[in-house]
Amino acid sequence: MNIQFDQIPHFSLIACYGPETQEISSIVYNSQEVTNGSAFFCVSGENTDGHLYIEEAIQKGASAVIGSDREILETHAKAHNGVTFAAVEDSRTALAYASIHFYNRVQDRLVKVGVTGTNGKTTTATYVYHLFNLLGIPCGFLGTTGIWNSAGKISYKKSTPTTPLSSDIHGIFSQLAAFGDQAASMEVSSIALDQKRVEGVLFDVAIHTNISEEHMEYHKVFEHYLQCKLQLFSQAKNAVINLDDKGMARQILEVVTYPALTYSQFLDSGADLIWANCESLNDGLAFDLMYKGQSYPVKVPLYGEYNAANLTAAIGAALLTDVPIGEILLALPKMPQVEGRFQVIRGPEERKIILDYAHTPVALDLVLKEVKKLPHNRLIAMIAGVGIRDFAKMPKMAKAAEGKADVLVVSVDHPGFLDPDDIVNEVLKGFSVPYKQKVRTAPTRREGVIEALRESGPNDIVLLSSGNINGAQIVKGEYIPHSDEEVIEGFFMQQK
């Protein structure tokens, strides 16, 4: 595409050196991915600064370099006359609007549903994905469990665990539209909002699940975390708001000036959508859904009563895109389970192995309470310290789980650059002494899964919690392939 940088809407160009227009083949923020004709954006991250890689990008064939350090750009421009150097106010904002322009505003061809919240983002966004597809609205998904089009998961190297960088988002939107998809459901994290990854995206529906303390290693204070999440609701046409969440619902309602649906589990809440009388059954959930003065019985092959709330949020998104309630109700019994979110695997001798990647104290407490509602003999739960997250949260995971299982296995998720033993010991600090239950430890997730399965017997439930991300464990910056399901299958094969 032939691009004239001073003609890109909202690009905030300060100065341009070299040719005013360039033929651009790709939008790139990683110098290793530069090819002939790439526009290289100097994005500053937590560990490095893209301006340091300008020379490498030029040697690989970049035809344009965009950054915020005017002095550095001027210096390089003197040595490379044929390359366009664009100085902008903010590289991340420029990356977002250049990507929108490069992909010909493909986002306008998709119904976009963005989900934010501390807990339930992945589940709710996936329910939207499945529900829209069941309703005949071909839909893609962008989130923790990967990138999906309406036919299933697609191969895509993600730039972050949850919400991709802006150029990747619009590239994915382009792939979805080319495949024939008409909608995209995506998780929108607080960090993504702060880092302008969804800058310039106008969501057709923004969904709020809840808020509790998380990502303090990044935000430092809760108020910054809250304000980042609120940003989503200034970029939306419609909203679905959890009235039961006292941490954020009021603030959203104060800023929303467009159509919105509220949801709640309480009959006297005054919410637009109410889920009530929820029961956990052997084959899923049953509850009553109240909407516009009528009560509808719902039965779905999903587990965990809190997932009735997440499903209700997805129903709200469908309603706000003008799908009749009758069509939605017909689709609900076909809803698939969400990978790694109260995902029930049947093991030998009536064991139930439940994958739920709850990685906050609040989520862990909720899932433990829900698991105990299912028929079982003993409960064995694996909890973990997440090395790439807030270190102060680790003892809180132990406190959240204490006394709620017969056996707790303390393991490690994504040790990053930390010593796994240090992570395990930090989690153990949260337990009372003496322990209220049997406690085992394991230095890797794989060993933790095996230890939990080894502790189990007939009719037991094994809960494998915490944050396995995108089929991998993050160790010293590397993504090491890992699958709980493969470990489970291998373990029981050896037992035969």
Residue-wise DSSP of 184-202? EEEE--HHHHHTTTTTT--
| pLDDT over threshold 70, residue 219 | no
Transcribe 228-250 into DSSP letters: HHHGGGGSBS-EEEETT-TTTHH
In angstroms, the CA 55 to CA 79 distance is 10
In angstroms, the CA 78 to CA 18 distance is 9
In angstroms, the CA 21 to CA 86 distance is 11
DSSP state of 16: E
| pLDDT over threshold 60, residue 215 | no
| pLDDT over threshold 60, residue 216 | no
pLDDT at position 478 is 87
- Which value, to the nearest 10 degrees, does the dihedral of the CA atoms of residues 147, 151, 152, 158 take? -20
In angstroms, the CA 191 to CA 172 distance is 19
Return the half-sphere exposure (C-beta side, CA atoms, 13 A cut-off) of residue 265: 14
Q: What residues contact 492, with CB distance under 8 A and at least 6 apart? A: 347, 348, 453
Q: What residues contact 270, with CB distance under 8 A and at least 6 apart? A: 243, 262, 264
pLDDT at position 468 is 65
- Which value, to the nearest 10 degrees, does the dihedral of the CA atoms of residues 355, 266, 401, 116 take? 60
Tell me which residue of 44, 32, 38 sits closest to 84, measured CA to CA: 38
| Sequence-ordered alpha helix ranges (H) in 420-483 | 420-428, 445-455
CA–CA–CA angle 100, 218, 252 (5° rounding): 65
What average pLDDT does the segment 344-358 reach? Answer: 92
pLDDT at position 425 is 96
Is the CA virtual torsion 451, 452, 455, 458 positive or negative? negative
* CA distances to 227, 430, 431 from 434, in Å: 41, 12, 8
In angstroms, the CA 66 to CA 38 distance is 11
Q: pLDDT grade, residue 351 (50/70/90)?
A: very high
Kindly report the average pLDDT of the chain as a whole number. Answer: 93
pLDDT at position 245 is 92
Q: pLDDT grade, residue 20 (50/70/90)?
A: confident
pLDDT at position 300 is 97
Beta-bridge partner residues of 320: none
Q: pLDDT grade, residue 469 (50/70/90)?
A: low
Q: In this structure, what token pair is assigned to residue 329?
A: 């109700």
Q: What is the CATH number of domain 2-102?
A: 3.40.1390.10
| Sequence-ordered alpha helix ranges (H) in 84-206 | 91-102, 121-134, 166-179, 190-194
What average pLDDT does the segment 164-192 reach? Answer: 96
pLDDT at position 412 is 95
In angstroms, the CA 285 to CA 301 distance is 6
Return the half-sphere exposure (C-beta side, CA atoms, 13 A cut-off) of residue 238: 19
3-class DSSP state of 77:
helix
3-class DSSP state of 401:
helix
In angstroms, the CA 191 to CA 213 distance is 13
Least confident of 94-103, 241-250, 304-313, 354-363: 354-363
Beta-bridge partner residues of 183: 111, 139
Q: pLDDT grade, residue 52 (50/70/90)?
A: very high
DSSP run (H or E) holding 361: helix 361-371
Q: In this structure, what token pair is assigned to residue 146?
A: 């990967």
Q: What residues contact 319, with CB distance under 8 A and at least 6 apart? A: 261, 273, 291, 325, 328
pLDDT at position 359 is 83
Q: Which of 133-142, 273-282, 475-484 has the highest mean pLDDT?
A: 133-142
| pLDDT over threshold 90, residue 172 | yes
Contact 42, 62 (CB under 8 A): no
Q: In what order do the strands lie in the sheet with 84-88?
A: 13-17, 84-88, 64-67, 38-41, 26-28
Q: pLDDT grade, residue 18 (50/70/90)?
A: very high
Q: What residues contact 223, with CB distance under 8 A and at least 6 apart? A: none
Is the CA virtual torsion 244, 246, 252, 253 positive or negative? positive
| pLDDT over threshold 60, residue 213 | no
Q: Which residue has the tokens 């509602």?
A: 373
pLDDT at position 214 is 59
Quote the pTM value: 0.85
CATH topology for 343-495 is Protein-Tyrosine Phosphatase; Chain A (3.90.190)
What average pLDDT does the segment 122-138 reach? Answer: 97
Q: pLDDT grade, residue 218 (50/70/90)?
A: low
Report, at the CATH architecture level, how domain 106-334 is classified.
Answer: 3-Layer(aba) Sandwich (3.40)
Q: pLDDT grade, residue 402 (50/70/90)?
A: very high
Contact 217, 389 (CB under 8 A): yes
3-class DSSP state of 219:
helix
Q: Where are the domains of the chain?
A: 2-102, 106-334, 343-495
Q: Give the rounded percent of residues in the chain with a pLDDT score beyond 90.
A: 79
What average pLDDT does the segment 298-309 reach? Answer: 94
Contact 443, 365 (CB under 8 A): no
Q: What residues contact 475, with CB distance under 8 A and at least 6 apart? A: 414, 415, 416
Is the CA virtual torsion 302, 308, 310, 313 positive or negative? positive
